């Protein structure tokens, strides 16, 4: 069956439950570097590493910047890859139904290689857009528009599944409808920008997603 809609998934906070781990890492990093930015670990959600480095750490000497990048890359590889509740079953449902799917993440190819090794989800996706494929990260719509192009789908036929403010804005700016996951931010904070907000995928299934088919 040829479907008229596609599903584009963010990774962290949508498929894998890693945000709490990142919060600890980036909070400590911001304190160690004396950035003096309150809730820094929340502000950078959904942001690519190159953007984080240029926006917040460009004042550091080059050797310290490279050291921090190496620490981030090492941290990415040793993350615990815990799936969001019901996420793998939901991906499987959509795949069996022939729904085109894309993974659209601010993560690097290096991190994705580690994710796919620990959690075999690569075959669910018809395309993967990582930080290494774009020049402008979320909230810019570039990543989601590229995924839609890869799938041969019109943006207004694509549904984005996101958790972060920047990711939700990216999907909306791409002209797509967004289903929000209240895994990183409370539902009340994101519901105005989403067609629906869910806590996870335990009670959200293929039949619920297909209600949006035109």
| Mean pLDDT per 10-residue segment, the chain (214 residues) | 83 93 94 94 91 95 96 91 97 96 95 94 98 95 98 96 97 98 96 97 94 72
pLDDT confidence of residue 1: 45
Question: What is the assigned CATH class of domain 6-18+82-212?
Answer: alpha beta
Q: Are 22 and 12 in contact (CB under 8 A)?
A: yes
pLDDT confidence of residue 105: 97
Cα(103)–Cα(166) distance, rounded to whole angstroms?
16
pLDDT confidence of residue 211: 87
What angle is formed at CA 108 by the lines to CA 87 and CA 62, rounded to 5 degrees? 145
Q: Enter the tokens of residue 206.
A: 């293929």
């Amino acid at each position: 069956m040829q479907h008229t809609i596609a599903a584009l998934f963010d990774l962290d906070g949508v498929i894998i439950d890693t945000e709490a781990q990142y919060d600890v890492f980036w909070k400590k990093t911001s304190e160690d570097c004396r950035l003096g930015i309150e809730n820094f670990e929340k502000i950078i959600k959904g942001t690519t590493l190159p953007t984080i480095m240029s926006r917040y750490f460009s004042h550091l000497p080059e050797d310290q910047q490279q050291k921090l990048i190496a620490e981030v890359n090492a941290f990415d590889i040793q993350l615990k890859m815990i799936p969001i509740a019901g996420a793998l079953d939901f991906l499987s449902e959509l795949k069996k139904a022939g729904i085109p799917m894309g993974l659209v993440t601010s993560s690097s190819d290096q991190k994705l290689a580690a994710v796919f090794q620990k959690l075999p989800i690569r075959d669910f996706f018809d395309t993967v857009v990582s930080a290494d494929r774009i020049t402008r990260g979320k909230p810019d719509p570039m990543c989601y528009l590229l995924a839609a192009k890869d799938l041969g789908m019109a943006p207004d036929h694509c549904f984005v599944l996101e958790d972060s403010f920047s990711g939700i804005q990216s999907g909306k700016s791409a002209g797509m409808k967004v289903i929000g996951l209240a895994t990183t931010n409370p539902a009340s904070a994101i519901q105005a920008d989403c067609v629906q907000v869910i806590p996870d995928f335990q009670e959200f299934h293929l039949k619920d997603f297909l209600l949006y088919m035109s």
